[in-house]
Structure formats: C-alpha cells, structure tokens
Structure 1
C-alpha cells in the first residue's frame, strides 16, 4: 500500500513548568479528544482561522502514534507469513516526524529533512526523549520543570568540561602594584605615546605618583570615587594610574557627553575629587565637588616616589556608568582582582608581550579602553593613543596604524569598516581584536587577509570587559563569540535556570572572577541581575544574567542570536532604548516616543518614532538638539519619524514589528523648505549628500546629522568631496561644519588660502599603492 492515510490535528501545547506530570498528561489527552471532532477539517481552513500568517507553515513537526502490532498480527496468520518480518514505512513530508510504535517495547523513530537538521542533532533529540520517558516512570506527581532530559554526558559537557577554564593569576595583586613591578623591568622603555608626547615607564610612574600624593593630601582613601574628565592624551593615563595609586576607584567622564548627562553621573557617583584638564571646564555642569586641574602647579612639588597604598585586590578599581532603562545611567563596580584576572588571561590569549605596540582608539568611557591602557603597561609594551579627531577619520587612522608600527589594535566593527572604506591594506604583523557588537561575516572576510590573526571578543561591562573570545580563521556562516576566558564560567539557561542542550537558544549567564560587585547604589537592580550560581551553591559564587540570547555549538563555542530585552548595541555602544524614549518624552511637543533599531544594507541605525501632543509636531532638527543636550551623541537617533499614532497589537500593546522602515516612512525633513544650494560649491556638497544618504530634499541649511548621517557616511562624504576637489578633506571638518552652507564656506576659505594637503594625482597614487599591497596580501593568504 502506498499513500498517507492519516488525519492531522494541529495542537497547541502549553508547557507550564509548575504543572504536575499526571495532570498535564490528562489535560493534553482531553484537549486532543476534544479536537477529534474536527479531524476531517482541511488544514488550509484551520490556518485561515489561526493567527499564523499565510505563507508560513502551520506546523513543521508531526507526532504519529501507531497503536497496533503489525508484524505480530501478520505472523499470526501462520504458514509463510509466520516466517516473515514486517515493518511500516511512512513519509509525511514534514521537516521533522516522530513516530511512536507500541509493541512489547516502546519504539521511537524520527524522520528528518537533512537540509534542515544535522544527524548529530537528531541523535541528541532521541537521547533526550529516552531520558524524558525514563524520568516519567518516577511518578505522575513530578513537576514538569523537574523532569531531566539531558544525558549525564551532556550535562557534564555543558556545565563542567566547557567551563574548565581554571588558571593561576595574581589574585592578591592590584593594577597599580603590578604596573610598578613592570616599571622596575622597563624603566627606560616608552610606555605611552600621544601625538608629540612620549613618556617612558619611569616618567609615567613619577608623574602618576605626584598626582597620587596630591590626591592623598586631599583625603582620598580606598573605595572613594574620583572622576576623570580628560581628552584622549597622556594625561588620561597619568590620571587613571594616579587614582589607583591613591587607593581610590576612577569614574571616566567623556568630555563629549552633554552637561545634563555628566550631571546625572556626577550626582549619582558623588565623587570626592574631579580631575579635569583646564580647557575642559566649560563642558562640565555646575558641580559641588572638589575640582583639581591636572596642570595645577602644586602637583609638581609632590614626591615622585610611589605612595604607600592601602588598596587591596578586593577594592574597587573603577566604576563605569552605562545606559539605564529608566533614563538614568547605572554605575558598574569593578574590583582590582577582576581586572587582574582579565589582563593576565588576555596576555596569554589572544596574547601580548613587551615587544608589542597597541594602538588605542576607544573612547575613555567605554570599558574596553581598560584593555588598551592597562594590558600594554602591565607587560612592558607600548601604548599609542589616537586622539578623537584621528579615531573618527578612517584615512588619518590608517596612516597612524602604519606610522606607529602597531602590532595590536582593538576596535568595534564600525571602526574596522571605516578603516576598510578608507583603503587600509592591513599589516602582516598586526593582531586585530573586534568586539562591542555583532561581527558581520562580510567584514571578517575583508579583515582576515589584512592581519596576522583576527579575534572576536564578547563581554558585558558587568563581567569585566571581555568574557569570551574566538579566533576567526574562516568567515562562513555566523561568527561565534567563542569560549570563556580564564577563570570564567558561561551557561546557557532556560527561564527556570536549567541548562539547555546544543543548538537550543537560551539566556547567557556569566560567572567567575570577572563578575562585578554590582551596581553603584542600586541594590534592587543588583539583586535582579546578579544571582547565586545554582551550579556552585556552596562557595557563594554569583552569575550575571546578560539578557543575550545564545546557543551552544557542537564544538563548544557560543553563538549570539540577539537580545531578550530592549537593550541594543550600535557601533559598539551599549544603550537602553528606554533611556532614549524617556529623554524624548520630556520634549513639550512629544506625546509618545519609541526608539528602535533598523538594519540598512550596510549597518544598524537608531530610529525614533514620535506622536505629537497637538497639531504642531517638532521638526527632526529640534528633536535632535533636544537629545544632544541630554544624551551622548551615540544615543541620538539618525532619523526621527512623526506618526499619527503608534501601531498596536490586538491586545493593545505597541507593535514594534509594524513600524514603518525609515525609507518608506513619510519622514518630515524640515530642510526641504530651506533655501536651495546657492553656488557650485554648495551644489557639489548637496549632490554628494544625495548620493551617500539617498535623500533628495537637501537645502543650503541642511544639517548632515539631521539627515541621518553617522561616522561612516560622513567618511564617505569626505572621500567623495576629496575626489571632486582634488585635495584631502578631513573628516573632523565635516563634524565642525555640519551644514551644506557652513562646509561650503569653510572649503572655499581653504581654497582661497592656498592650503592643499594632497593633489588628486597624489590621492590616486596612494590608493593604487594600497590596492597593490592588498593584492599581495591576498595572494599570500590564498
């Protein structure tokens, strides 16, 4: 007989972990019996009644129970039938079919689509079913969440073998103490370099000591917080070391942050002293704390000898404030021992030695800047600090990579993409670290032939910079975030805190030496996000719940799938969408605000949707200015879209999936009403903006950032203008002159002054040399 003679009933099964096994099975059987009267209803009709969209399968797995003993009954006929064995072969056409045969034993058979499932996955599934069924024999009064389905081998692999990361480290050491030990070994070597400034290890140590003595004179002690507001410079490193030497913990304050944001952080942190460069006083809010200028003459009269620090490895090293869902940033407290474990792990893998030069490009308030500063200084290496103007300009940054002789560089995918777009050909001996956001496969393909080794780094601020790493040798499929670093435990758990098998998504939890003390003055949030480790209940270890959805791969690496909340990362910066929505809602014309992330062909973009309180709505430029005064620039959306009302789900909640894409939304660009470009220079700039940003209505007063520009698109605009003008256009000049009119005036002024950095022919020759070097690198890799 050939054919499919079954009636299929789609069944929605609710699995509540608190339900008792016997009650749940009875309920399931009752539900199935109730549906039997509909077993002749066509599936296409059922789909029309359901909430499953047309074109999407109603279900992709099927369970069949054969409640008869086919082989035995046929053999019972006697004669030749009695000597034969019979087996039923069925094929349903679904990707996954589980058939259960009732005989003297319960037999399970799984058919699967090899295009959708690997054989190893199905083998694990069969083992899980076996463990489940055996566990059910213990009785009907068990709760469903107590039923085990992992084999002992799997459980050991997930909880023990893949977390075998124990390694010795200087558990009792402090960061500044370890630096002082390195000074004895490398006193005459260059420790830090920024622009024209260079300091040896001995010079850096002496200057940090003087500042530390002055802080002690002002009453600074362990566990105190000291704010640091400085540009990316040698002063930044001196200040960080000095605060640690005084026994206190530093709080980095980015001078690019708006005053309101800095005021929130300072109000929460209650720093005892605020270290600041004199030229940055204007960016600070009014503060009621002790302000110390780094150029204060009295510092020079302090002792150059190391102060007697009473700080221990259990004391705080720094507190970094990150975006908070309530609209106020939250401070993450990191202790010395956590940083020491991290640094020693990084020195081994990916690896760094005294022969290396690390080029630091990360903003001071981003926790990964700690690796860039301290890792080289603890190993006798050299750290070269790129100033902000260089760090945002791909071409200038590419030149600094070459001139500095950098052998290690850490950056976000956005910065690496910016370097590639600037024509960077790579270096044979450079080690690239990429982290802060998802690592696109296409970007990895471009970077692999441009370096000696490429590493994907992952970790939240709450577990000390990076927690997992992965060497990227090939770029196929998705790039994993890797495996845990030294003395770090990682678990992928369900909502009942039970481990999940290979391939099954769950939330990533991180434990070990890197776990933060908690959130500064936020015991409620600390208790919510930092929990007792259920797998090591006897030694007080804790886990941080990351909110990241991940799954194990068969090789023991981890794949990150996204978030289970409203936290996002763009260009490496972590932010809570609620933080942006709260700030937008304070605008007098905004009734409702919603922030979301939309993916373009090249990158992610932050988009804000608003509804107005009255018939008058705020223009995008006005909303942008409102946020610039309250949030860091990386949290200001690229686009603002005004809607008549927010789309809702049937149960009345905002439907984020129904929000229009920016390209299709009727976005109100106020610049459309502005004067059209007035002369050839303005027309040229407007034409380049139209091509790069794909926006038609561009006026003389159009602001690049109101049009949705970001650092990458600004680089593209600079490159296009450079080609048309025949001379270099520096990216920072576009940031300083962000309208068509102001940039045209600036460029005309440079033209009139005769300033011409490079000719069109020189630019073309440089690009040809870059292409030639890259071709040679590609040939060597192949």
Structure 2
C-alpha cells in the first residue's frame, strides 16, 4: 500500500494495540500512527470490524462517526482514552450460548421473522433465494467437495434449521444432524452448444426452485460435469439462513476445508463458540427498555410519522399486487472516472458508498422533483466480533432520509449524506421490522413499506480464487426477480466502479433503465468536473439525448403565410371562389363575396369610430351570421376583437369590461339588457345595419401587421379573476395554414359549436374561412345529442371539434353521428382510450381522430396526436408532438430539460404564442419567459403549468396540472388512471374521480385528510351496485387508489364549453368503507365470529366491520396469528394475502365465504354455529 505520510512508529501501549488491530483488519504491515485508515484500504465494513475489536480489547463503545473523524492511530488513541472514561455500563452484553434443553422453541430473529412473513404472502416463490455459481477448473475431488459441504452444515446449525408456526408464531427447529448429498450431472457427452444451453437451463431451474421453510433443507448444492477437468458447483440458500457476508464466510470455509480434506487432513477450523440461534435470542433480549426506546426515538424523529413516498416515474401503472418480476442492467465506469471519484472521496473524507449514494439521490431528485428522498440501504450488522464468522441472516435495512434542496451544491449534499449515514449507523441495531411496526405505514401489497428504492455498495473481491490445484471463479446468478422497484448495486473491481440496476419489469421497460444508467454516468462526470455546482444544474443528459429533446424533436419549421393577416387570407379565398357558400346558419347562408362585402361595410364604419391597430372592439353576440361578419369587420378595420359570452354571469362580464377598456362594442338589440355598465359606444348590428349597408363594399387598405393583435380572449385565472390573452394575427395563421396535424381543404364542411369565448372557435371559424371551406353555425343554445347528430348528418360535416367531455358522450350515445366526419378533433381535457378506440373501430381509416392539446396562450393547439388505427392507442391517448412552427420543452422547476420518460412542465414556444396578458405586465413576465434554448433575439416560452413527459418515440403524454398533483396518505395518484379502469367496469358509462376531505371521525383521521371520490354515470339498463365497482377496482389497482366514496349520477354536469363542471358536482356524502365504519357492528354470524377473533388478536373490546386491521393496531406478526386463528376456526386454508387485499371484517368474511363455497360446492351462504369453544365451525 502506498502511504501519503512518512512512517511514524506507535509511542505507547494504546497506539501499539490499535496499530496491531489495523494491521489485522486491513491485512497490511507496519501501520504508522499518522497513516489514514481509509488511505490504507479501509471501508465501512472494515470500520465495523475494527470497532467491534476495539470494543473487545478496550471495553469502549466507539461510534462510526468517531472513527471517520479520527482516521489515524494517533487521533483514535486519544478518542479511546476519552471514551474509556465515558463508556462505563454502556457496552452491549456478550452473546451467550443458549442451554440445549430450550432449543426446541427458540424464536426467530426480527429479520428472519420478516422473511418468514413474506414467505407466507409469497408461498412457493423463489424471491429470497441466494444462488452462487462456482466455476472450477482442474482435477476436482468430488468426495472431498461433498465432505467439505457437509462439514459446513455440521458447523453452522442455521443450515440445519427449519421454521414452523406454533399458534401463528414462527419458531426455529434445529435438526441435530443432517447430511447433504451432492448430485453430479454429467453433461460431457453433449455438443458444446447444447451443453451450454443445458447448463443454463439447469442453473436457472435449480436457482429458481422454491424452498419449504417448514421442511427444509434450506441449502441445496449440485455439481455439473462439463469436461474432464471442468465443473460448475451451484449453491442455493434461502435468505432466511444466509446473507452476503455469510456467503463470504461459506466460500472461505469451503476453500479451507476442501484443501484439508482433499489431502486427507482433518478440519483445521476451530469450533464456533456460539450459533445463530444464540444471536436471535440475544437480539430480542437486548432490544428492550431504554435501548429500544433510544433507537425508536431517533428513527421516529428522523423519518417523521409519514415518510415521503418516492414517486419514481414508471412506464406502466403499478399493479395492485407486487409480483417481484425483474431484470438487471449492468454498467462499468471508466478507470479515469473511477479515479476522479476516488479523489473526491479523499478530499471530502467520505467513502465511495457515501459519494455514490449522494449522486444516486441527486439522480432520483432530478427524476422526481422531490426534495425529500428516502432510500433503503442494507447494513451487514456484524458489529460484534463473536458473530463475524457465523453464517446466518444478520443484515439489516436502514432508511436514509435526505433533504435535497435544489439550491444545494453537490459538495454540500455530500456532507449532508455523510452526516446522515454516520448517524444512521449509530442506530443500526433497530431491526427494520420493528421500525415498520412502530411507524405503522399504510399497508399496501403493491410496494415495499417505507421505501421502494434501494442502494447497496459491495466491497467486491476478485472473482478468480486459487484453491489447491484448482482455479475457481465465483459468479452470482441473476434471477428474473426484483425485490424493490429499483435497486442500484455498486462495487469496485480492477480499479473500476461497476453497477447493476435491478428493476421491476412490471414498472419499467429495459430501455428506460439503460437510459437511467447513462444519466447516472453523465451525472457523475458532471459532479467530478465541478462538485460546487448546484444539484439542480448538474448535467445528467447525454449529448445525444439532449440534442433529441431540445433540437431534433423541435424541428417543426414549415412554410406558411405568416407575413399576412387573417382578413387578407380571407380576401384571397374570396378571389378564389367568390360564389362558394362560406357560412350557413339555420335556413340562411352567405357566399364568400357576401360575407366580404358586409364585413367591408362594417369595417369602414368602425374606422370612422376610431377602430384601428391595437384598438379593442367588443363582440357581444350569439352564434349567428352577424358573429362572423362582426369578427371580420373588426379585423378589416385593423382592430382587435374581444369576444364576450352573452350567457356569462354579469359580474364576470363587468370584470372583463373594466379590465379591457373598449372604444366600440358590437351587439344585437335583444342582448343589450344583459350588458353591465360600460363606457363603450354600442353598435347594434341588427338595428343600424341599414345605415351600415350604405358604406363601401370594397376591401380596405390594411394598416395591420402580422404582429398586431387579432383578438383578446379571457380565461379563468388562478386568483379567481379572468385574464385576457392577446393573440396576434400570426398565431391564428400558424394554427390553420400550413399545419401538419390536419388536412384542411376547400371541400371541408366545419361545424361551429364552441362559444366564441372558447379558443376552439378560433380553429372552427378560421380553419374553415381561411382554407375555402364551409362553416355551419349551430343555433346559440347548447344542442341536445339528437340535434347535434342531425346537424352533423344533415350538413355532412367533415371537420368537427368537440371537447373531451362531449366527445365521450357522443361516442357512447350517438356514434353514428360521425358518419361523414373525416377529421374529428377532440381536446380540452383527457381523452378516454376506450372512447378513442371505439371511434376508430367504427369509422375505420376514413376518419382521422386528432387529440388536440393547447392553452389559449398558444392559440388553441400546441401539440396534436393523429390516429387512424387502434394500435396507436395504449393505456392513455398521447397528445402527440408540437404542431408546425411550434416548439415544446419539458423542463423542471429550474428550467432544465428532464430526461425522456420523466415528468416536467410543458413550455411552449414558436409563432403561436400570445403577446401576453392584457393589462397584466406582472403576470405576463411570470408566464412568458425568455427562451434559453433559442439564439433568436427576444424568443420566449409560455409556462403552461401542465405536467407532461416525453415518451421514447417522441410523443408527449399529458399527466395533469403541475401544481395540482393529488396525494393521498403520501402516495401520489393519477386520477385519470383510476377513471380509465373504472370505465372498464361493466355497467359504467362514464367516470370522474376527485379528491374530497375525509371525515375527521375516521379512526386516526384528521380534518385535513383527503380521500378519493368517484362519480359514476351508469348505463340506463344497468342496476348499479357500488360494491361491485369497488371489487372491480381492488383487483386492478393498489388499495390506496380505490375510491372511498362512489356517487351515482345520471350524467356529469358540463360547462358551456363542454368541459366537466366540477363545481356543480354533488358533495360526496356516502360513508367511507375503509376505516370510517367504526360504529358498524357485525351483521351476520360469519362477521360476528371474524370480528370476535379480530378483537382478541388486537386486544380490543370490539371492532367494526369496516375497521382497517392495520389502522387499528395490526401488524405483520398479528396478521399471521389472525389468519392462523381463522384457519383453525373455519377449517379452511386462507392465504395471508387475503387480509392485505381485504383488511376489514366485512371484506375478509367475503373471502372466507368464497373459499368455503369453492371447497364445499355450496350454493347458499354457509352457516355458522357457535358452540362452546368451537366458535365459527362451518
């Protein structure tokens, strides 16, 4: 080892003893008093060994932090002398052998108890199998190998242990002897290719074969004979009897024993003073009283009552029950990067574990935007010398919670992680299982409690080992299993950091994980380049991905007449087809020439009234011919039209008229009494048209530029007051000319249905009139479905825009209305995949369905997704890509582009942007920001407030509002996902899911708690049954996504724009099923029996049929006892999983009855007879 300091010998007995301990632990010679422990190869595991040896020799308790802060012999000696004066009475008691006569009923360790419990949930799975492949080259003595394995089994009682339940509680049963037989599979005669295939098949089958914990053995071995001197030894153990440290002990002993036995010698290994069962009993006795209280208090303060749930973006929805199906992706960091990372570790006095964990947490922060990151980390928990040589399940899991403020530098974060890690190691004795019991997190079969992401750093040894006359190479089998959503394993081999990402294939695609690995490597390069950068600014995108996101997917430039104004393009159409019908309203119609003449006459009059560029003119009319003439007249005069909805509340109209001072206001006589007070000159189009018709019919000389405003449209504001978006002519022209999302021609017939205060009308009106099409205007009142359908068929409408809400209703009620529609646009809200598929299946290729997304501030459409086949629709309907001459960026809160698949806020740029908000420079500056990715002077982006993400192929997925994400009990929930599943339920026509306040009377509830409420519109011929809706969802979604309340409606209320009117929804006042039925007593004999068992197991006087088992004090061990009692009482095999799926008396009773009916083929409810102690016999 190369030392950075000159050797200085120890000066006293304490320093000499410490130096000797270092030499033994580090396996180096001549340790000087100024040598740094970590420079000599020390790491976290060796620190723990050193601390346990110091405890044995000096009788002092040193913390991990103490050694990190005193990493030299000299400084450590000083700390030990201080600690000797303060440690009296604080050392843990030694582990003593348990008397043999009591071994028949020994308890499990806390960690074993958790694995036993998981085994009851996942019976028959290979989830916790640990497998190693030992490749052996040379003359193998098979008999010596078998003897060596049996000697290890004889030495370690844990390998002869099975686990059975007594009264619902697991105990250890240790066999006095057990002999392992080593089968040999001879594959030498197979051709090389077949031999390799058969080898992999046998290894996979053996490693993935489940164990029976109650029967054993929990160690399997097999030998494959591949060539005369080539063998493969496969070892598989259940995790309940082993861990990573134990594997090293196993292989070390195997090498020692094989060398002895193959030369005819006896075992050189000394007898073990204690066994794993001794540790298990010691752990339970040690973790009591003040010791337990201190550990629990630390973790409760550190994690709080509800540790944050890390919502890593996934490719697929989370299944209701975690399947543990997984895969792995490996990567290797270059030697140069590894060296730079090691240098940074040295500078900051941290271990590679701390540095890589801080970097991983930074990546998770960049993926989720969450500043409070919780990650699980395994610790060996071998902090006592007497257990270092034992095989067994000692490993514990620590929950490392870190606050990652985006303004922190990486160096600051690294120091924070170092502090948190050292603190956590000080309190590592509290088993994860007891922490779960103390915190009582929401029980959920879809994910692991308290954390879903794990990070592990393994101090790897070289794979190639030398045994006597043999070359041995150790390999770990990667099974198709993932215990968590995502685990990052890091290690160092041959001066290179290596990584393996183990991930759930239920949640992630392989390509997503490959990208994540690339992002991690780029992030590490950015960290070593400048560790003083803010973590929000550190690069994590490879150059190719950044180029794709910022440039390639924004190549949308397309030629269009952006140098002309709206009315000029209309005049061009007049010249092309002067006698073509332009507008139809009821039994009236106007040709292009007629519309143009009337608009010119009005424009000349408006010019006299002072209307010109940038001058606002109000338009207070209903859908009519006058509406179209009014719009064009204002534009031809050079003015800006402000559409006002006659059906709007007077107070809202008053706010807009006050905000936007008008010179002129166009209206009709019958609407005048609806106008609030204002200062504008009113031009009553129907009353004064005779005089207007005297004006010239010729086109006016335009004084307007494409940059001038065409209209101001008001939309709802977050403050409750409407805000007016000023849209220039160029924005409208970019929307309807030269676009790629639709093919608009002079043969098309458009329906004008939207109010002119809704920006869909911009597309309807100008999409028709600027492309030579025909505009069919519906009467002012909202039509019935029958009237809408008749109009579509009567006028043979080919281009139709509908709000998402109206689209869904028409698809379900009047699908035949789309008979002539060849381009169907829908948007304004999330489109239902089932409705979209139904249209495409019915209409075929003759109809293009377009999902249009865009805010008013970007002139109606920003992105569109065009569909002609159902194969283009998955779980959600994409919003597609930016339309022509539009750019889109998905950014985090610090304006950094987020990776593909990661949610971020949509920022829109290009020619469709509004100038800003009328008379609101402050709001304009907030929402319209400089474009940091454009070299064009003055380029801006609109901050939409919408949460989206890029899909791998370049389409965008809409996720909801950026500032209105829903969280229930710490879980982030996408309401649309629940709606999609609920609409698949038989009898459900339409569904809407919202959040509502939970009842404060709920057990453990608070007034500020939220719950989910589902509004269900059901088929007329169906009789809705709420319990069926709930059962349907429980089989398909995690329980926290199942609405607590179901409200049945005949139809969803809609606004005048056709969107769901959420304010008009009735209050969800049904009682909540989970946790709010404390007052509901058992109603049937079966429920009474189950409730009685619950009360006894939980130690309660009584329970309600809707009480949640885990919310009223239940935990995993009590769950196994409850199920055991139910099995005995009802004489059935009830899986433990049933309690998690139905954690109420009412729900569990249904499961019991279903099993009884299936087992006995009963066609009626089973009866319960209570007789003495035989309660509940069926």
Residues 469 and 146 from structure 1, CA distance in 2 versus in 1: closer, same or farther, beyond 3 angstroms? same
Are 1:692 and 1:713, in contact at CA under 8 Å, matched by a contact in 2?
A: no
Q: Check if 1:657 corresponds to 2:1021.
A: no
2-side partners of 1:67 and 1:606: how far apart? 49
What is the CA–CA distance in structure 1 between the aligned matches of 2:1013 and 2:765, rounded to whole Å? 43
- Alignment of 1:208 onto 2:603: no
Q: Superposition pairs for residues 94-133 of structure 1, below 5 Å?
A: 94-103=484-493, 104-133=495-524
Contact 2:812 2:989 in 1 (8 A): no
Tell whether the 8 Å contact from 2:707 to 2:729 is kept in structure 1 after alignment: yes
Give the aligned partner of residue 330 of structure 1: 723
Q: Does 1:307 align with 2:695?
A: no
Matched with 1:488 is 886
Does residue 442 of structure 1 match 2:834?
A: yes
Q: 1:86 to 1:440 in 2, by over 3 A?
A: same
2:410 is the counterpart of 1:12 = no
Does the 8 Å contact 2:850/2:865 carry over to 1? yes
Measure the CA separation in 2 of the matches of 1:192 and 1:460: 27
Q: Retained in 2: the 8 A contact 1:60–1:94?
A: yes
DSSP 3-state at the match of 1:53: coil
Q: Distance in 1 between matches of 2:730 and 2:721?
A: 28
Secondary structure of the residue aligned to 1:12 is strand
The 5 Å alignment of 1:12-411 reads 12-50=401-439, 52-55=441-444, 57=448, 58-71=450-463, 74-75=465-466, 79-81=469-471, 84-89=472-477, 93-103=483-493, 104-295=495-686, 296=688, 297-346=690-739, 348-389=740-781, 391-411=782-802
1:189–1:477 CA distance, 2 compared to 1 (3 A): same
Cα deviation, residue 190, structure 1: 0.2
Change (3 A) 1:484 1:143: same
Q: 1:693 to 1:120 in 2, by over 3 A?
A: closer
Change (3 A) 1:204 1:285: same
Q: 1:209 to 1:656 in 2, by over 3 A?
A: farther
Q: Judging changes above 3 Å, is the alpha-carbon distance between structure 1 residues 45 and 500 closer, same or farther for their aligned structure 2 residues?
A: same
The answer as to whether partners of 1:224 and 1:248 remain within 8 angstroms in 2 is yes
* Distance of 2:1054 and 2:680 partners within structure 1: 40
Give yes or no for contact 1:232–1:388 (8 Å, CA) kept in 2. Answer: yes
- Cα distance in 1, alignment partners of residues 991 and 649 from structure 2: 23
What are structure 2's unaligned runs of at least 5 residues?
1-234, 244-394, 967-981, 1027-1047, 1056-1178
Contact 1:275 1:293 in 2 (8 A): yes
Partners of 1:255 and 1:605 in 2: CA distance: 29
SS across alignment from 1:184:
helix
Q: Which residue in 2 is equivalent to 1:720?
A: none
Pick closer, same or farther for the CA change 1:268–1:606 going to 2, 3 Å: farther
**TM-score, length basis structure 2:** 0.49
Instruction: Tell me which residue corresponds to 1:671.
Output: none
- Equivalent-residue separation in structure 2 for 1:321 and 1:51 (angstroms): 49
1:541 aligns with 2:929: no
- The Cα offsets for residues 617-649 of structure 1, whole Å up to 9 and x where unpaired, read as xxxxxxxxxxxxxxxxxxxxxxxx9x99999x9
How many Å separate the matches in 1 of 2:482 and 2:883? Answer: 46
- For residues 92 and 40 of structure 1, what CA distance do their matches in structure 2 show? 26
Offset of residue 86 of structure 1: 2.4
Distance 1:455 1:661 in 2: 28
SS of the residue corresponding to residue 800 of structure 2 reads: strand
Q: Match of 1:13, SS?
A: strand
Farther-moved stretch of structure 1 (192-201 vs 319-328): 319-328
Q: 1:525 aligns with which of 917, 923, 942?
A: 923
Task: Report the counterpart of residue 553 of structure 1 in structure 2.
Answer: 951
CA distance in structure 2 between the aligned counterparts of 1:656 and 1:211, rounded to whole angstroms: 58
Distance 2:440 2:735 in 1: 49
Is the CA contact 1:229–1:252 (under 8 Å) kept in the aligned structure 2?
yes
CA drift at 1:108? 0.8
Cα separation, partners in 2 of 1:48 and 1:510, compared to 1, 3 Å: farther
Output one character per residue of 1:179-231: Cα deviation in whole Å (capped at 9) or x when no partner: 01110001000000010110000000001111111111111111011110111
Q: 1:341 to 1:142 in 2, by over 3 A?
A: same
SS of equivalent to 1:210: helix
Report what 1:704 is aligned to: none
Q: 1:538 to 1:396 in 2, by over 3 A?
A: closer
Structure 1: how far apart are the matches of 2:661 and 2:965? 26
Instruction: Give distance in 1, aligned partners of 2:921 and 2:453.
Output: 45
Confirm whether residue 562 of structure 1 aligns to residue 960 of structure 2: yes
Per-residue deviation, 1:116: 1.6
Q: CA deviation at 1:338?
A: 1.3
Q: 1:223-252, CA deviations, whole angstroms, 9 ceiling, x for partnerless residues?
A: 011110111111111111001001011011
Residues 696-738 of structure 1: per-residue CA shift (max 9 Å, x gap): xxxxxxxxxxx98767799xxxxxxxxxxxxxxxxxxxxxxxx
The alignment covers a number of residue pairs equal to: 609
Distance 2:1025 2:588 in 1: 39
Cα RMSD of the aligned pairs, angstroms, is: 3.1
Q: Partners in 2 of 1:691 and 1:111 — Cα distance?
A: 47
Write the distance in 2 (CA, Å) between the matches of 1:563 and 1:338: 24
Judging changes above 3 Å, is the alpha-carbon distance between structure 1 residues 713 and 28 closer, same or farther for their aligned structure 2 residues? closer
Structure 1 window deviating more from structure 2 (114-123 vs 7-16): it is 7-16
Distance 1:373 1:201 in 2: 13
What pairs with 1:590-605 in structure 2 (closer than 5 Å)?
Answer: 603=990
Residues 992, 1014 of structure 2: 8 Å contact kept = no
Deviation at 1:447, TM superposition (A): 1.5
Q: Provide structure 1 residue ranges, at least 5 long, that are not aligned to the other structure.
A: 569-598, 610-640, 664-687, 695-706, 715-782
Contact 1:262 1:285 (C-alpha < 8 Å) held by counterparts: yes
Of residues 44-53 and 164-173 in structure 1, the stretch that sits farther from structure 2 once superposed is 44-53
Among residues 419, 422, 430, which one is paired with 2:810 in the alignment?
419
In structure 2, the CA distance between the partners of 1:567 and 1:261, relative to structure 1 (3 Å rule), is farther
- TM-superposed CA distance for 1:18, in Å, is 2.2
Post-superposition offset of 1:318: 0.4
2:993 & 2:615 partners in 1: Cα distance? 36
Shift of residue 529, structure 1, vs aligned partner: 0.8
Instruction: Give me the whole-angstrom Cα distance separating, in 2, the residues matched to 1:385 and 1:153.
Output: 49
The structural deviation recorded for 1:429 is 5.1
Q: 1:747 matched to which residue of 2?
A: none
Which structure has the bigger radius of gyration?
Answer: 2
CA contact (8 A) 2:582 2:775 kept: yes
Specify the SS of the correspondent of 2:475. Answer: coil
TM-score, structure 1 normalization: 0.73
